[in-house]
């Protein structure tokens, strides 16, 4: 299992041909208290960099972009009932959605943990 990161502060956990996607702890700390999460529909095809989900704090709404191209195979329904999970466990229980990866070649452009740590330093 590999974890990769985007410069937009999303993480991807790669297991076989499925990527689980969420936002990083750094991203949640910048957003502040999350009060609403809108997730994509299962079955939707997303192109890399397309707006896929919305995360709203008390202050503002922010888009979450598809970090790679793929089809949505599962979404985290728990976030609808408990958006604050994004603040308490951004890297774990607060995953947003899972994508069936279309092109593994797109993963090459993403950062590993060390590169992401340097990016946010």
Enumerate residues 6+ apart whose C-beta is below 8 A from 89: none
Task: Pick the closer one to another protein by CB: 47 or 59.
Answer: 59
CA distance 60 to 51: 16
Task: Pick the closer one to another protein by CB: 34 or 110.
Answer: 34
Kindly state the smallest distance separating residue 111's Cβ from another protein, in Å: 25
Under the criterion CB under 8 A, does residue 58 sit at the interface with another protein? yes
Under the criterion CB under 8 A, does residue 36 sit at the interface with another protein? yes
Which ranges of the chain would DSSP assign to H, the alpha helix? 25-31, 78-81, 85-88, 113-120
Task: Pick the closer one to another protein by CB: 40 or 70.
Answer: 40
Q: What sign has the CA pseudo-torsion 84, 21, 49, 5?
A: positive
The torsion region of residue 49 among left (phi > 0), alpha (psi -120 to 50) and beta comes to left
Extract the tokens encoding 106: 């797109």
Residues 98-117 that bind another protein (CB under 8 A): none
Task: Pick the closer one to another protein by CB: 45 or 87.
Answer: 87
Among 56, 71, 74, 89, binds another protein (CB under 8 A): 56
Residues near another protein (CB under 8 A): 32-33, 35-36, 38, 54, 56-61, 80, 83
């Amino acid at each position: 299992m590999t974890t990769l990161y985007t410069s937009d502060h999303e993480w991807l956990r790669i297991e076989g041909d499925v990527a689980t996607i969420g936002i990083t702890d750094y991203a949640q700390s910048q957003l502040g208290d999350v009060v609403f999460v809108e997730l994509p529909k299962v079955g939707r095809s997303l192109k890399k960099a397309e707006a896929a989900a919305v995360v709203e704090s008390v202050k503002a709404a922010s888009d979450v972009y598809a970090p790679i191209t793929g089809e949505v195979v599962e979404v985290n329904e728990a976030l609808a009932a408990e958006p604050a999970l994004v603040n308490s466990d951004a890297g774990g229980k607060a995953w947003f959605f899972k994508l069936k990866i279309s092109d593994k070649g797109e993963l090459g452009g993403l950062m590993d943990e060390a590169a992401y740590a340097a990016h946010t330093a």
